[in-house]
Structure 1
Amino acid sequence: MYRKIGLFFLSLWLFFILTIIITINIPICFSENSEFIGFYELITTNIIPLICILCLFIGLISYLDFSYILKGATQMPFSITHIENIEYEHLTFLTTYIIPLVCFNFVNLRYQIVLVILLIVIGLIYVRTDLFYANPTLAILNYRIYKINGQFKGGVRENIILISRDKLELNQRCDYIKLDNRIYYAKQKIV
């Protein structure tokens, strides 16, 4: 469960970066009489960007954890009997969630509260419906998404979601790591 939550933070990296750009307030003055406003003032005027930096850090830890588990031992290989590229899911998540959220009014406290509530609700939906594979950040990091049927040791499994850095094809043999009941990380079987 914590990995899914971490991948949710990872999926919102673009949102956090855009929010930092929109909301950061660092006064810059080059006159002779200028002086530093102080750390307290700097921090209190940049709460939202600091929270976004924390969320970026959580996403980074999640990505490092994700990369670590993918280096682990794989299950018995399977053969792909049907394959469908569903990389459009990345774009769907981006246009449905991230772009509209960036248009929020970050100045008004009520809108900030609504934004937090929306992020929590989207996160709950994202984790409970296993949509963590539809992650635009993973697309940027060169991962692909496939929906496959496969011949496994125990029989045929249908509608499996594969996350892979490899370009997978029909009848190809793959090693895999099970991330969830129907979501696997797969890589080409090296003979």
Structure 2
Amino acid sequence: MRNRTGLKYALYILSLWLLFISLFIMSYDKKFFSSALNYFNDRDAMILLSKITPKNIVFASSFIMILAGIFIFLYLLFSFRAGWSVACTVSDVKNESHEHLEFLTTYVMPLVFTDVNSKRTMLNLLIMIVAIGMIYVKTNRFYSNPSLALLGFRIFRAKIHDRGAKEFVIICHGEIDDSSTIRYIRLDNNTCLAKIT
């Protein structure tokens, strides 16, 4: 089973969607838009460059990451149309959905109130986002995703009975219990995306 590292990083970007929306709102600057409008009218790049501040960079970056999050969600929505396993039963189901809240309160919320006006804090924000992403993927916590929780996905730990029994972390839209039957797609050796049949 190959690890889908790219997918894990994509899920990490999606998990920070709320942070990027918050930074987008906090860094909005209408003066930047007037400077951009002047640039397009005069074709003078120096006008635009002279007006760019760390706040504008955070604003533009947040906008790009919000768009990336939308594309990632659409990719996930359409890429898992096929490749599901046969119907399998589950047992020893434990609800692990508190992982979403832990990730949100531990990593996302402290970054929401970052001062976006300073180069130093902007650099610190970038370093923290990259470092948290590397930890997130290396420790296989990519399923702790508050954005997926908002979309109705929950996290369970359970044994899947498919040519033997193996315990997985299961990301599922809806509730599963010991009487549920699911189809699944492995995301790595210990994690899968499931749908209830």
> Normalising by structure 2, what TM-score?
0.85
Distance between the aligned counterparts of 1:61 and 1:43, measured in 2?
30
Find 2:156's aligned residue among 146, 159, 181.
Answer: 146
Q: Could you tell which deviates more after superposition, 15-24 or 73-82?
A: 73-82
- Identify if the C-alpha distance between structure 1 residues 97 and 43 changes in structure 2 by more than 3 Å, giving closer, same or farther: farther
Tell me which protein shows more helix as a share of its residues: 2
Distance between the aligned counterparts of 1:42 and 1:188, measured in 2?
55
Q: What secondary structure sits across from 2:7 in the alignment? A: helix
1:38-53 correspondence runs (5 A): 38-39=38-39, 40=48, 44-45=52-53, 46-53=56-63
1:88 corresponds to: 98
- Identify if the C-alpha distance between structure 1 residues 126 and 187 changes in structure 2 by more than 3 Å, giving closer, same or farther: same
**Unaligned regions of 5+ residues in structure 1, if any?**
29-35
- 1:76 Cα offset (Å): 2.5
Counterpart residue identity of residue 51, structure 1: S
Q: Deviations over 1:13-36 (max 9, x none)?
A: 1000000111111149xxxxxxx4
Counterpart residue identity of residue 88, structure 1: H
Counterpart residue identity of residue 3, structure 1: L
1:25 to 2:29 alignment: yes
Distance between the aligned counterparts of 1:48 and 1:114, measured in 2?
12
Counterpart residue identity of residue 111, structure 1: T
Counterpart residue identity of residue 157, structure 1: K
1:135 to 2:139 alignment: no
1:174 to 2:182 alignment: yes
Aligned CA RMSD, in angstroms, stands at: 1.8
Q: Deviations over 1:57-112 (max 9, x none)?
A: 22122111211222112112221111011111111111011110012222121111
1:31 corresponds to: none
Identity %: 31
Distance between the aligned counterparts of 1:137 and 1:88, measured in 2?
13
**Unaligned regions of 5+ residues in structure 2, if any?**
40-47
- 1:174 Cα offset (Å): 0.9
Distance between the aligned counterparts of 1:140 and 1:127, measured in 2?
21
Q: Deviations over 1:39-64 (max 9, x none)?
A: 42797242211101111122122111
Distance between the aligned counterparts of 1:65 and 1:42, measured in 2?
38
Structure 1 runs of 4+ aligned residues shifted over 3 Å read: none
Counterpart residue identity of residue 177, structure 2: E
2:166 corresponds to: 157
